[in-house]
Structure 1
Amino acid sequence: MRTYQNYISTGIRWNAEMPAHWDCDKAKRYFDNPKVINKDGKEKNVLSLTLKGVVRNDVDHPIGLAPADYATYQLFDKDELVFKLIDLENISTSRVGIVWEKGIMSSAYIRLKPRVSLNLRYFYYQYFDWYKRNIFNGLGAGVRQTLSAADLVNYQVVFPPIDEQDQIVRFLDWKTSEMNRVIHAKNQEIKRLKELRVVAINTAVTRGVKGYPLKKSGTSWLNEIPENWNMLPSKRLFFLRKDKAKPEDEQLTASQKYGVVPQQWFMEQEGRRVTVVFTGEDILKHVEKGDFVISMRSFQGGIEYSNYSGKISSAYVMLIPNHEYVYDRFFKWLLKSPEYIKALRGTSDLVRDGQALRYANFAKIDLPVVPMEEQIAIADYLDNICKRIDDAIEKVKKEIALIQELKTRTIYDAVTGKIDVRDVYIPAYEDVEDETSDEDSEEVETVDEEVDE
């Protein structure tokens, strides 16, 4: 790709130069920042700025927190830019979008309305480049790192001639669509691999890997089991631990991603603090290494295994495995298998997100009694096959990340004039919208509230 012949300085620290014939000025030369509040409540079309752009918000099932009423929301018109520039330390929440229809959004959002003839999509790409390069994050102030509308319109932007804005947009729409198409195909590949993983786990923990003939299990959640397996009440396989925390115990955290781990380690891994509840030390419970833990959200991700001894919230239930029947590695797979999680969800009509599963729920589900040598064989099989699948998923995710990097670089090069696309031929192509990556679309890591020391 060729570059422009002549460049000049912009005075912008994150975009030091531009083609010599481009203009550069504060954004307020090109945009107004009107703020009209929906005081009378006439406008009912509630919009939301998400990682997928501006979308209609379902008032009955809103995205995020909903206000008591929408009289404090501000009006937006079609073909305007909207910014969410609060909490700038969290890159996933600071972003820009194009408003495609009239509606209302939170008064915390920033509205930019064009005041001169321009290609709005070009400026979307320019500000999106700021977002991807974390430019906004370095400009905010205050505890929550917030950027105001007055600040935003006083930062300089580059302004190519209109015909070049149009061509840059055509070029980027084409290039990003092509890359989105590849990313979409790779996300579908990840989806298939995850489905294969689910099938492998469910099949192995409920039917084994030896190929024995099947018989009726006598339970509602497992239709058939191998003929050499039996079913027993879960209380026979796991005993309830009621020990109170010891003074020397380390604080632990229950996590669907890592299991039960030290709270400090978890915060370092995730780069964030765990929500804590300040209350009496005497209600904490003791966990032994090798315990299985029913967390508040086990109906989402199964029952966690603890590789550590320590203390944990009284909201949790600790299970001591009866090693006459239980081989830990096999039950680590079984108690987090999709089939078992489905059974947990069916133990109570009252189980909802944020409510705790109790030992009574666990006790309603009979568990398979599997010969010990077969438990070992199943655990070995799943350790092997799932690692191979996980490795394949990681490989595809790395390929997606490389394409995303290329897309980000292409946008940066085009909107800042690092490349000259004026004479680039734009072929016919299928318009493929950006999609939330497979990684982003997964359920956010859930961690129950912990009791602080």
Structure 2
Amino acid sequence: MKSYENYKTTDITWYPEIPKNWDYCKVKHVANTYAGGTPSTVVESYWEKGEIPWLPSGKLQNCEITTAEKFISEEGLINSSAKWIKPNTVLIALTGATCANIGYLTFQACANQSVVAIDENLSKANSRYLYYMFLNMRSQILTHQTGGAQAGVNDGDVKNLYLLKPSVQEQTQIATFLDYKTNLIDAIIEKKKQLITLLKEKRQAVINEAVTKGLKRNAKMKNSGVDWLGDIPEHWGVVKLKHIVVMKSGNFISAEIIEEEGTYPVYGGNGVRGFISEYNQDGYFPLIGRQGNLCGNINYAAGRFWATEHAVVVSSMKELNVFWLGELLRLMNLNQYSQASAQPGLSVEKILNLQIPFPSFDEQNSIGIKLTEILEKNDSLSNKIKDQIKNLQTYRQSLISEAVTGKIDVRDWVEPKK
């Protein structure tokens, strides 16, 4: 793309050089801004059978907002500081993890007090251009962030942000150009994400087949007598887990002594939590998450490490291939054996009484080796696709930045004919 013929310098840090025919101004000079509100959550009638879409700040994910999951009633709207927001409005998240996230609302809705709506003056600004402009202003927004764990910005900060202001006609052209280009990029990204999903499904299918049916496709089969398992190779056995492994939770450790760096990793119910200078395990083991919504998930730990009380260490009582065992446990969806409570917990006793297919140690090893080989290729391809997606996302943001800051001139751009 070509550049503009002439540029001028400014005293605004964020825009040191802009096209000569452009201007800059504060947000308050082209739009009104207002925050939303939340009806009282203790008044059931404000939420029950509500039909008015209501958005928390978490809905703002730097993309269009096309759906709502929460709704409030007319009564809730009237008795709170929530306000209607018109379709095609830019939204900015003010606080917390989503602070400075941007959304483009495509339907009429309300939002909570951590969301600011940008109600543009149509004679001065194009809402779609503002959407792309604000996506490029996220770093500027974050410079105003103050506070602790829920640090954020306020409506006053947003009003005084600086943005670039070409003519409305040129804003519209820039927005049209970016809509076309980003839609193309997004379509490519979506196809690549679908390919990653297919690779994950293929990965799991290969694992499932290998750990329950073996590697020989023409092997004679028999009924295992286990509902979830079905047929298994004729020469395989069926055993209860308690006859081949010991399952024991790790030991409590205070979160205060866990460091970001250290000698030995600390494994909780969902993988590594940090590091400490002591260990309570030494070897290669599958670990089962014991508590929480992710209880039953499988991780592997090797060498010296500390297992907390939230991780169940699976130790073998006889020769077993750890990878074969771990993937078999993953296939068994152990989360279904959790005991219902506010904090779900795994019933180890139930799991130990489950029956599993049991090939010889040599065959377990053959399965483990073959799976490692296949999965390395699968994961390598998946990682390459993820890198491609990152590059496309970087290019997308770069294109937006160049267009809204005048690094490229799109005034003569025409959408290609289909």
* Matched position secondary structure for 2:53: coil
How many aligned positions are there? 390
Deviation at 1:10, TM superposition (A): 2.9
Deviation at 1:21, TM superposition (A): 1.1
How do 1:281-360 residues align onto structure 2 when only pairs under 5 Å count? 286-295=280-289, 296=291, 302-324=297-319, 326-336=320-330, 339-341=331-333, 344-347=334-337, 350-351=339-340, 354-360=343-349
Is contact 1:205-1:333 (8 Å) kept?
yes
Deviations 1:31-86 (A, max 9, x none): 112346576959732234332532443338x9xxxxxx775552132132211132
How do 1:173-192 residues align onto structure 2 when only pairs under 5 Å count? 173-192=179-198
Is contact 2:245-2:314 (8 Å) kept?
yes
Deviations 1:73-114 (A, max 9, x none): 521321322111323xx5x65311122233221111112211
Tell me the distance in 2 between the aligned counterparts of 1:286 and 1:122.
Answer: 58
Q: Does 1:126 align with 2:133?
A: yes
Q: Does 1:222 align with 2:199?
A: no
**CA 1:156–1:242: 2 relative to 1, 3 Å:** closer
Could you say which residue in structure 2 is the equivalent of 1:111? 117
Is contact 2:269-2:311 (8 Å) kept?
no
* Matched position secondary structure for 1:264: strand
Alignment partner of 1:423 out of 405, 409, 412: 412
Which stretch has the larger CA shift, 417-426 or 306-315? Answer: 306-315
Amino acid at match of 1:196: K
Q: Does 1:24 align with 2:16?
A: no
Could you say which residue in structure 1 is the equivalent of 2:158? 152
Deviation at 1:428, TM superposition (A): 4.0
Could you say which residue in structure 2 is the equivalent of 1:232? 239
How do 1:33-432 residues align onto structure 2 when only pairs under 5 Å count? 33-35=33-35, 37=37, 44-48=52-56, 49-51=59-61, 52-59=63-70, 72=80, 74-78=82-86, 79-87=88-96, 90=97, 94-117=100-123, 118-131=125-138, 134-143=139-148, 144-211=150-217, 212-241=219-248, 252-254=266-268, 256=270, 259=271, 261=272, 263-264=274-275, 286-295=280-289, 296=291, 302-324=297-319, 326-336=320-330, 339-341=331-333, 344-347=334-337, 350-351=339-340, 354-428=343-417
Could you say which residue in structure 2 is the equivalent of 1:275? none
Please provide the CA RMSD for this pair. Answer: 3.1
Tell me the distance in 1 between the aligned counterparts of 2:164 and 2:249.
Answer: 65
TM-score, length-scaled by structure 2? 0.83
Of structures 1 and 2, the one with the larger relative CO (CA 8 A, separation 6+) is 1
Is contact 2:241-2:356 (8 Å) kept?
yes
In structure 2, list runs of 5 or more residues that go unmatched.
41-45, 258-262
Tell me the distance in 2 between the aligned counterparts of 1:234 and 1:356.
Answer: 19
Amino acid at match of 2:226: T
Is contact 2:297-2:335 (8 Å) kept?
no
Amino acid at match of 2:414: Y
Deviations 1:394-425 (A, max 9, x none): 11111111111111111111111111100111
**CA 1:6–1:130: 2 relative to 1, 3 Å:** same
Tell me the distance in 1 between the aligned counterparts of 2:293 and 2:69.
Answer: 28
Amino acid at match of 1:331: L
Which has a greater percent of strand?
2
**CA 1:374–1:353: 2 relative to 1, 3 Å:** farther
Tell me the distance in 1 between the aligned counterparts of 2:253 and 2:142.
Answer: 43
* Matched position secondary structure for 2:381: helix
Amino acid at match of 2:105: V
Amino acid at match of 2:214: G
Tell me the distance in 2 between the aligned counterparts of 1:219 and 1:306.
Answer: 29
**CA 1:36–1:194: 2 relative to 1, 3 Å:** closer
How many percent identity over aligned positions? 25
Tell me the distance in 1 between the aligned counterparts of 2:252 and 2:91.
Answer: 50
Could you say which residue in structure 1 is the equivalent of 2:260? none
**CA 1:298–1:206: 2 relative to 1, 3 Å:** farther
Tell me the distance in 2 between the aligned counterparts of 1:26 and 1:234.
Answer: 67
Is contact 1:47-1:56 (8 Å) kept?
no
Is contact 1:76-1:111 (8 Å) kept?
no
Is contact 2:178-2:400 (8 Å) kept?
yes
* Matched position secondary structure for 2:357: strand
Tell me the distance in 2 between the aligned counterparts of 1:50 and 1:246.
Answer: 37
Tell me the distance in 2 between the aligned counterparts of 1:222 and 1:145.
Answer: 51
**CA 1:72–1:291: 2 relative to 1, 3 Å:** farther
**CA 1:59–1:403: 2 relative to 1, 3 Å:** closer
